[in-house]
Amino acid sequence: MESRFKLFGHPVHPMLIVFPLGLLGTAAIFDAIWLVTRNPQWTALSFYLIAAGIIGGLLAAIPGFVDFLGIPTGTRAHRIALFHGAGNVVVVMLFAGSWWLRQQQLTQPDTLALVLSFGGVALALVTGWLGGELVDRLGVGVDPGAHLNAPSSLSGRAATSGPERPRKAA
């Protein structure tokens, strides 16, 4: 199933998600650096990165939602896309909460603001993996012959029906 939201023949959602992931992930890294250095410049930068990441996340959600509507219900791809999308809504909400809590104390975020930031980036790792599963394993948005019910990439089985793939030696 190919993307319904394309630009010059390429799906838009995968193009846009790199921005919020990079911005929000970098904000969390800057928060960690602040915890070590206590240099207030790091959390001030985080505040602005979070704002840009939230905007980017909302923009990336539009083509993602359009593509989601094209995934047939009852498929593994639809279930994964539902968790991917809902999880990313939670990611944006966690970072929005962190951003809101920082408004009065830009350079000294309280513990809850940091917990929301770190929780948001942890959940983004999970939802990012789910997005990768959708594109790389199931072919959603990029392959007209997508395997919408392929087993998990963690199963060791091929995406198409057939015998189990040999595992690589460690």
Which of 162 and 33 is assigned the larger pLDDT? 33
Residues 70-116 pLDDT 10s: 999 999 999 999 999 999 999 999 999 999 999 998 899 999 999 99
Q: What is the pLDDT of residue 168?
A: 57
Which of 165 and 121 is assigned the larger pLDDT? 121
Pseudo-torsion of CA 164, 70, 132, 117, nearest 10°?
Answer: -140
Q: What is the pLDDT of residue 170?
A: 54
Q: What is the pLDDT of residue 161?
A: 52
Residues in Cβ contact with 159 at an 8 Å cutoff, skipping those fewer than 6 apart: 137, 138, 139, 147, 150, 151, 153
The residue extents of the domains of the chain are 42-137
Residues 135-157 pLDDT 10s: 988 988 777 777 888 888 898 88
Please say whether the beta carbons of 125 and 140 come within 8 A: no
